[in-house]
Chains A and B, each alone.
Chain A
Amino acid sequence: MSSNVRVSTTVNGEPAEFLCEPRESLLECLRDKLNLTGAKEGCNDGNCGACTVEMDGRIVTSCLVLGVEAQGASIGTVEGLARGSALHPLQTAFLEQAALQCGICTPGFLVAAKALLDHEPDPSEDRIRFWLATTLGRCTGYDKIIRAVQQAAREMREVKA
């Protein structure tokens, strides 16, 4: 058995430390060591996107990142989207548009969509579809998810304007 490594990182803006085996994924570390179970494991090979988190400003499937790679990095998870009691516009839009059914893919979609809107405030429908193709959902047919992202983009632009 391999020995544990100490990892210092920043999660959702707060410093976080954990001990992990070198073979453990960032997803395992977030879920089992930091109790951040919002990121889900759907495939463990980077194809479903349910474990999507932000890492130093870009989105990654955390099942394909080792926990030790998070040393010194800044990680953003679905748990960090809301500001206190105020939901992020994407979270509100997902609820208002009924963009979730079982909800298991929702954290991945929210994190991926936030990364898109952070960089592109006015994406076309095609652009949203292309960007979110990294994440699989099986309940909604994506229709209401796309509409929710469009609604959130609109609202975020209005706040900025």
Chain B
Amino acid sequence: MSQPAYSVIGTRPIRHDGADKVTGRALYGADFQMAGLLHGFVLRSPHAHARIKSIDTSRAEAYPGVKAVVTAADLPESSDRMVDIGEGETPLSYVRGNVLARGKALYRGHAVAAVAAASLHVAEEAARLIEVEYEPLPCVLTAPEAMLPGAPLLHEDLHTHELGEKTSTASNVSEHFRHVMGDSEAGFAEAEVIVEREFSTSTVHQGYIEPQNATALWNNDGRVLVWCSTQGSFVVRDATACVLDIPVSRVKVTPMEIGGGFGGKIPVYLEPVAALLSKKTGRPVKIVMTRKDVLEGTGPTPGSFLRVKMGAKKDGRIVAAQAYLAFEAGAYPGAMVGPAGMCVFASYDIANQTIHGYDVVVNKPSTAAYRAPGAPNAAFATESVVDELAEKLGIDPIELRLMNAAKEGTRRADGPKYRRIGCVEVLEAMKNSEHYRSPLGGPNRGRGVAIGFWFNVGLPSSCTISINADGTANLVEGSTDIGGTRTSIAMQAAEVLGIPVDRVNPTVADTDSVGFTAVTGGSRVTFATGIAAYEAAQDVVRQMRERAAKLWSVDPDTVEVDRGQYKQNGHSMSFADLAARIGETGGPVVGRAAVNPKGVGGSFAGVVVDVEVDPETGKTTILRFTSVQDAGKAIHPAYVEGQMQGGSVQGIGWALNEEYWMSKDGAMMNSSLLDYRMPTSLDLPMIDTIIVEVPNPGHPFGVRGVGEANIVPPTPAIANAVSHATGVRMTRLPMNPPAVMAAIWSKG
């Protein structure tokens, strides 16, 4: 099938917010200024688990320059209920409890109180004067530890949801789920080669460079105005309203530019606290986290313990698979083990599967999403086992994957049957890549491959497009722009309108000015908000046809439109000429759309990586890295490549260096960017990309969404490469030099 010829889609225009972002003019949350602004500072628990016996704020309140102090006692005490904010339903008490600890501190870094003062330095000094009496309690830091009988309990009222049924025993396990397809035991009985291994991955942080921030003004009319850097302005609105127990209509959120998120800027932390401080002082209050606050107080992604067993026939057909997934949720349930269960065998067509998942609370920060949350942990295990199967079977690792690859019609153990997907095409692109066909060369080197899946999401988006008399279009949308989506959305509208993309002026609006739009997450923005822009542009085209018909006194249905040219029986006008006459043909033209698209297309990604391991130090160097991903249709190929490169490098950091290094009593020992070691430019080669395009039938241009799947295969691909280089199977992340040396020494 030949691809339709597009004018705008597939080109690489300069982003609309580009000039602001290279001149330093773009305003991020911490850049917000306002007359009378106060500065807030949050006091955090020094204990990983402690009962809060009392809080005495009197000395802080008396400190010169201090305007207000708040604790959990200032939060409303409405009865608990489930609230739908961000990515699914969660109990309000958990959201509120994480904003300011009530009764117990559940992790080191848990917010306990906050101070507002005329200067940040004064607020910080005063916060140190707050006297909190703690009764330290024993803490648990890993899922296996927290699951043991008799383990210290974080929440005395947390009862396990056991296969959908609520049990009566208090436990740190909030949920145990199971997906079954076929009969995995019978499958293993039939298998001729079986590999089973245990894996563990450390807690890692999204590592966005901009710390969380929020400014709030509890205005004199009772409305709460918020300016912040968030992945979802409506999430902040709804969560702030829930936590403060006020109607959503009383909260207005203006999204500032956002300096990275990767899933970590979906939850609210500071907004309700700043609002409470503003209510007490009558002045706007700004709070910006320190880096230590970010690492200790915001949601990283779960550490995990996994066991995966897979069995194959000698011909390479994988006939059975089992997975045991225990994920650390941090202080409150919600470890993203559900998505891990959906993705663990998602790349393969395996008849017999059993998947067990456990969501386990531990005394670490409440975890948040991080780019395909749960899937990289799961793929680390599965793709390592598949690699070992390939070795044992003597089959090329890409060939083995191709023999078992998921296709249209393949059913996943959690239920869904795939529509058109690009798993095979991604594997073929890896196999045919210049990289894979090139020799590896040199001692202490290894090559690894892996693939991974992320399902992507749809969710609601809204968009309006108003036409200007000079032939341009103002596009208003609600998806905060974290990586160039103003442009990828404007491009889709421009394609429909038949005008150049620089004639579309996109704006990310506040929550009063645009219809509800869900988070910038789940790789959904170019897909779902793209559909909203597409539909709004179609609405404009429909109205423009009516205007042309009016000018020519013909039936609108007879007006044809081709790339912005309106034609009817000898009449012809360009979009711009028609726009110049909207005043005389009926006034303003505004297109609108509100969508909740269901045709989400999952994305597969693959990696080929070459490494060299220094046998003296255990240091792994990435020699060459190729990232392959099915974009469906790449609206802006440079931004697709950018997503693939960014996800790849986060995966490299996850594989080789990044971890929460915890003391026994639950203190993070490396809570700075010196010691929490993210990759620098010097640690890396260029990241080669191959964009595969298997159009998603659920999007008018075929878009799948590319933000996430690319972080799934890097960790196992690197683990496979290191394993081949050292001759030892690597089963723990990170594979930092000490871990690699230990593995080498274990060979004897």
Q: Which residues of A contact B (CB under 8 A)?
A: 1, 21, 23-24, 31, 35-45, 47-48, 50, 77-79, 81-82, 87, 91, 94-98, 100-107, 110, 125, 128-130, 132-133, 135-146
Contacts and interface: CB of A to CB of B under 8 A. Distances in A.
B439 interface: no
B682 to A, nearest CB: 4
Interface residues of B, number: 61
B93 interface: no
Across the A-B interface, give the 5 residue pairs with the lowest CB-CB distance, nearest first: A38-B24, A104-B259, A141-B649, A141-B645, A103-B21
Interface in B588-629: none
Given A23-B121, A104-B209, A146-B686, 18 more contacts: A1-B64, A37-B27, A43-B672, A50-B209, A50-B210, A87-B19, A95-B14, A98-B638, A102-B258, A103-B17, A106-B21, A106-B22, A133-B681, A136-B680, A138-B262, A141-B687, A142-B649, A143-B645
Contacts of A136: 209, 673, 678, 680
A32 B701 CA distance: 46
A144 B645 contact: yes
A138 B24 contact: no
A45 B31 CA distance: 19
Nearest to B39: A32
A142 B17 CA distance: 20
B260 interface: yes
Nearest to B650: A138
B495 interface: no
8 contacts: A1-B65, A37-B28, A39-B24, A42-B673, A78-B24, A79-B24, A102-B261, A139-B483
Given A102-B258, A102-B482, A91 B22 contact: yes
A24 B119 CA distance: 11
A101 B208 CA distance: 12
B596 to A, nearest CB: 27
Interface string B1-21: 000000000001011011101
B33 interface: yes
B458 interface: no
Given A40-B30, A40-B209, A132-B681, A100 B290 contact: no
Given A23-B121, A140-B642, A98 B12 contact: yes
Nearest to A104: B259
B556 interface: no
Contacts of B290: 44
A138 B64 contact: no
Interface in B242-272: 257-262
A125 B684 CA distance: 11
Nearest to B37: A32
Interface in B273-324: 288, 290-291
B682 A102 contact: no
Interface in B472-487: 482-484
B553 interface: no
A87 B24 CA distance: 12
A42 B291 contact: yes
B23 interface: yes
B137 interface: no
Interface string B192-228: 0000000000000011111100000000000000000
A120 B290 CA distance: 35
A140 B645 contact: yes
B122 interface: yes
Contact of B208 (A78, A133, A138): A138
Contact of B646 (A31, A79, A125, A141): A141
Interface string B649-680: 11000000000000000000000111000101
A94 B636 CA distance: 16
B198 to A, nearest CB: 30
Contacts, number: 181
B300 to A, nearest CB: 14
B260 A102 contact: yes
A48 B673 CA distance: 7
Contacts of A47: 672-674
A42 B211 contact: yes
A106 B684 CA distance: 19
B45 interface: no
Contacts of B14: 95-96
B483 A143 contact: no
Contacts of B31: 31, 37
A133 B209 contact: no
A140 to B, nearest CB: 5
B291 to A, nearest CB: 4
A99 to B, nearest CB: 8
Contacts of A140: 642, 645-646, 649
A132 B681 CA distance: 6
Given A1-B64, A42-B210, A95-B14, A139 B681 contact: no
Contacts of B291: 42-45, 48
A105 to B, nearest CB: 5
A68 to B, nearest CB: 15
Contacts of A128: 681
A30 to B, nearest CB: 10
A43 to B, nearest CB: 4
Nearest to A43: B291
B625 to A, nearest CB: 9
A44 B673 CA distance: 10
A81 B23 CA distance: 7
Nearest to B643: A101
A1 B125 CA distance: 11
B453 interface: no
A79 B21 contact: no
B53 interface: no
Contacts of B15: 95, 98
Contacts of A87: 19, 22-23
A18 to B, nearest CB: 15
B627 to A, nearest CB: 9
A40 B28 CA distance: 9
B25 interface: yes
Given A1-B122, A103-B259, A107-B24, A138 B207 contact: yes
B265 to A, nearest CB: 10
A37 to B, nearest CB: 4
A142 B641 CA distance: 12
B24 A144 contact: no
Interface string B691-721: 0000000000000000000000000000000
A41 B28 CA distance: 11
B656 to A, nearest CB: 14
A101 B482 contact: yes
A28 B683 CA distance: 31
B639 interface: yes
B85 to A, nearest CB: 23
A33 B670 CA distance: 33
B26 interface: yes
Nearest to B686: A143
B174 interface: no
A88 to B, nearest CB: 8
B648 A141 contact: yes
Contacts of A77: 24
B646 A101 contact: yes
A42 B674 CA distance: 12
Nearest to B684: A142
A47 to B, nearest CB: 4
